[in-house]
Amino acid sequence: MGVLQLGDIAIQRILEHEVPVYYPSDFFAEATVEALEPYRQWLEPKALCPHTGRMVMPVQSYLVRTRCHIILIDTCCGCNKTYAEPPVWHPSGNEVWLANLKAAGVQPEEIDYVICTHLHSDHCGWNTRLVDGLWVPTFPNAKYLFTQVEYQAMEEENHQIFIDNVKPVMEAGQALLVGLDYALDDEIWLESTPGHSAGHVAVHIKSNQHHAVMCGDLIHTPLQLVEPGWSPTFEFDLAASTNTRRSFLDKYCNSDSLILTAHFPSPSIGHIIRRGNGYDFKYI
């Protein structure tokens, strides 16, 4: 994966998977065969696999190196997690992501901050790794930033994802519970982007007037550029999800801000541009 230079900050994708995974109808109630037909050619083959009809959705982190810190935004599915949904994202013993991090020249010990946009299984998996039967933080010297709202919601739910990926970080004293607009410094800050989960945030990155934003799961697929009103049926708050996505697309349309997506097909990074009544994505 190439390094993107944003002013003084270096940004690099650390990929775990990029395979066809979900049918559009798994996500969107509106995604009937007829409704998809006008977009099929535009989406295929990169975002929609023509052979399986499934959406191609990478799972990846963003490695951000500022002058002061080495930061990871989101940590993918991880290795040997006990829940396995979807199975294609959870092959046993999968350490590809860790190998890719090391290939980028960074050891786990060197990570200063881990920022999770939210605490779903494909965004916090490598927060921990299994050592002698116990889940321990993968990044022993890092502080992990979770929004207080997201943490509390996940703690109450007490799903295996929280037990495996989040609780051990808190128990190790490495978690920082922060507000939805927390700023790490004047280069890295959070923005509340509600809807997908209880305390979902986007992560802003700015250096020398250059700006990028990692948008997490406020948008999942390029299909939502042409149908911004389509929200996944499993959203925490469906109406808020739609509002957040619409205002985000509107705000950054035809701007200089680079959008770092979680699940758009490689290269996953680009600019939002106007296309008819909707939007398109100009990949870098």
Contact set with Zn ion (CB under 5 A):
122, 217
Of residues 16 and 187, the one with the C-beta less far from Zn ion: 16
User: Shortest gap between Cβ of 41 and Zn ion (angstroms)?
Assistant: 26
* Contacts (Cβ under 8 Å, ≥6 apart) of 91: none
Q: Nearest distance from residue 117's CB to Zn ion, in Å?
A: 8
Q: Which is nearer to Zn ion, 122 or 235 (CB)?
A: 122
Give residue 9's region: left, alpha or beta (phi > 0; psi -120 to 50): beta
| Dihedral angle of Cα 100, 68, 118, 60, to the nearest 10 degrees | -20
Cα angle for residues 253, 217, 161 (degrees, 5° grid): 170
Q: What's the min distance (Å) between Cβ of 223 and Zn ion? A: 15
Distance CA 218, CA 247 (A): 11
**How many Cβ atoms sit within 10 Å of the Cβ of residue 267?**
15
Which CB atom, from 88 or from 136, has the smaller least distance to Zn ion? 88
Sheet of 113-115, strands arranged across: 3-6, 9-22, 55-65, 70-73, 113-115, 143-147, 175-178
Residue closer to Zn ion, measured from CB, 150 or 217: 217
- Cβ 240 to Zn ion, closest distance in Å? 17
Residues in a beta bridge with 95: none
Min. distance of Cβ 79 from Zn ion in angstroms?
A: 17
Task: Decide: 136 and 182 in contact? Cβ < 8 Å.
Answer: no
Q: How many CA atoms lie within 13 A of 270 on its CB side?
A: 17
**Nearer residue to Zn ion within complex by CB, 122 or 164:** 122
* Smallest separation (angstroms) from Zn ion to the CB of 140: 26
Select 9 or 262, whichever has its Cβ closest to Zn ion.
Answer: 262
Judged by beta carbon, residue 164 or residue 217, the one nearer Zn ion is 217
Neighbours of 63 (CB within 10 A): 22
122 versus 150: smaller Cβ distance to Zn ion: 122
Q: Which residue intervals of the chain are DSSP H helices?
A: 24-27, 33-43, 96-103, 148-157, 160-165, 167-171, 223-226, 238-252
Alpha-carbon distance 13 to 146, whole Å?
21
Shortest Cβ 274–Zn ion spacing (Å): 26
Closest separation between CB of residue 141 and Zn ion, Å? 26
